[in-house]
Structure 1
Amino acid sequence: MSLQGKVALVTGGGTGIGKGVVAALARAGAQIAIAAVDFVDSSANQYGTKHIGGYMAAQKLAGELQAQGVEVIVIDANITKTADMDQAVRTTVERFGKLDILVNVAGLITCKQVVDLTEDDWDSVVDTNAKGTFVANKAVLPQMKKQGGGRIINFTSIAGKTGYPGLAHYCASKFAVIGFTNALAKELVKDNITVNAVAPGIVATEMWVNLRKAWALPGETEEESYKRCVTSMIPQGVDQTPEDMAKAVLFFIDNPCVTGQTLNVDGGCS
């Protein structure tokens, strides 16, 4: 499909799934704004530090794409902060003249039993994944309504449909994304704005660096832990890739009659 003349804003677009989405949008001809941050408010995340390096990674990716002739900018914006995301939309429109697509990928995870969860653990993950989805989605609506339409694609997870031990706070945040996506889609059916979500299975991103450590059995290496999780949780027996997720994003962009849906890209596990 061709996205020539289309403008996309991608949150968390410098690494992992977001990087794969940005690459796919670029190949399709879109102009792209990447919203990312180097620092977050809490170290309760998969990186174990407040310095997550997202903005720096996005700048590196943007440089590579610009060298290929892609029109792409990077915006320092935290999806949990309304002022940041409102400014990200303004900057995108000032640079490219419009905004057609939001792909909301940014997210955080930690792995702890509920009895051990702190309020900081909960707030860091739920604020980013659930509140961040609300903030980012709301920020683009005035511009999309003004233009007469748009596409919003949020990222949830298989953990947004099934609970997993040690991930109660993450599951809560990703269940919330599915409900929010479906409700917002119904609010916007008369505005030519579709709202859908992608639910990845197991993708070898930084999140799974964290999980393979947390879920390793006694005497098991991290790589063995990861392979066991893939083979036991994914019926196809293989993990998924950022490119797989990007294909789902392109499907939603290309289908004006599909809205309010969550598409599992998970090898059959849900």
Structure 2
Amino acid sequence: MFTADLYAGKVALVTGGAGGIGRAVAAALAAHGARVVAADLDGADRIDPACTDVQTLRLNVTRRDDVARVMADITATLGRFDILVNVAGVVSMGSAEHLQEAEWDRVIDINLKGTFLCCQAAIEPMRRQGGGRIINLGSVIGKNGGNPRPWIDPAEQERASNVAYGVSKAGVHIMTSFLAKELAASGITVNAVAPGPVASAMTTNFPPSLKNLIPVGRMGAADEVAAAVLFLASPQAGFITGEVLDVNGGIWCD
């Protein structure tokens, strides 16, 4: 299904392109023919998905003017805008009791507001050309109330994602549903991928006791998340919108 020219002529923006999942998504789209712009706030120079077809730039997803600038640059230089993949985000660890207000604001600002601003900016150019694909990155944490079991071991909570992260990703899930209904008549599908624990720099301290709860017996890989994104961005997924696709090794089923 994923032929080398699957996305030939398509233009894609991947936010959070310097992270593990962002790099994997950008590389996968480019490998299948898309012209890809990979954007990140810090470390845009580290975006190197082994493909010369990926352009890189700096983007602060929490600033409306910055998002508008990037969208305008893409449509002006590449002539169209077909696929938006919102990967940009931050993780936050610890208990609700010790969560600082500034940390709550930081997580919601980047993960939820930033995703919305990018979705909002994509609507006009996608509508103008008759359609497009938006894929947001949610999380199993936005569904299951968190992986830790503090009633068994309070230390698990201190080393795992907290309530701010979970709320931000649950917000991304419901945002996906709202936008899917609002934009369907314009030929724009809006879906999300909700990964479970994925091996990356952000999960190096993930408690072994929680890894043991994943039914398939291991953490996920960034390439596996990218494969789900590839499908949702493809022509074959044209009848799928408002879906939050779980890629979590069975740790949560709904």
Instruction: Give, in whole Å, the separation in 2 of the partners of 1:175 and 1:7.
Output: 28
Q: How many aligned residue pairs are there? A: 233
**What one-letter code is carried by the residue in structure 2 that aligns with 1:168?**
V
Residue 15 of structure 1 and its aligned partner are, at CA, apart by 2.0
Q: Scaled by the length of structure 1, what TM-score is found?
A: 0.83
- Equivalent residue in structure 1 for 2:176, among 157, 181, 203: 181
Alignment partner of 1:56 is 2:45: yes
Residue 57 of structure 1 and its aligned partner are, at CA, apart by 1.4
* CA deviations over 1:126-163 (Å, ceiling 9, x no partner): 11111111111001111001011000000000001011
Alignment partner of 1:35 is 2:39: yes
- Equivalent residue in structure 2 for 1:256, among 202, 220, 238: 238
Instruction: Give, in whole Å, the separation in 1 of the partners of 2:106 and 2:201.
Output: 16
Q: Which runs of 5+ in 1 are unaligned?
A: 39-52, 213-224
Instruction: Give, in whole Å, the separation in 2 of the partners of 1:247 and 1:241.
Output: 10
Residue 7 of structure 1 and its aligned partner are, at CA, apart by 0.5
Q: Which runs of 5+ in 2 are unaligned?
A: 149-156
Instruction: Give, in whole Å, the separation in 1 of the partners of 2:16 and 2:201.
Output: 12
Alignment partner of 1:20 is 2:24: yes
Residue 198 of structure 1 and its aligned partner are, at CA, apart by 0.2
Instruction: Give, in whole Å, the separation in 1 of the partners of 2:227 and 2:126.
Output: 23
Instruction: Give, in whole Å, the separation in 1 of the partners of 2:107 and 2:91.
Output: 6
Residue 95 of structure 1 and its aligned partner are, at CA, apart by 2.0
Instruction: Give, in whole Å, the separation in 2 of the partners of 1:206 and 1:80.
Output: 23
Alignment partner of 1:107 is 2:107: no
Instruction: Give, in whole Å, the separation in 1 of the partners of 2:39 and 2:211.
Output: 30
What is aligned with 2:57? 75
Q: Secondary structure at the match of 1:115?
A: coil
What is aligned with 1:230? 211
What is aligned with 1:195? 190
Instruction: Please show how residues 128-147 of structure 1 align to structure 2 within 5 Å.
Output: 128-147=110-129
Instruction: Could you list the structure 1 runs, at least 4 aligned residues long, displaced by more than 4 angstroms after superposition.
Output: none
Instruction: Give, in whole Å, the separation in 2 of the partners of 1:35 and 1:145.
Output: 22
RMSD: 1.3
Q: Secondary structure at the match of 1:75?
A: strand
Q: Secondary structure at the match of 2:245?
A: strand
Q: Secondary structure at the match of 1:114?
A: coil
Instruction: Give, in whole Å, the separation in 2 of the partners of 1:14 and 1:28.
Output: 20
Instruction: Give, in whole Å, the separation in 2 of the partners of 1:104 and 1:187.
Output: 18
Q: Secondary structure at the match of 2:33?
A: coil
Between Structure 1 and Structure 2, the one with more helix by share is 1
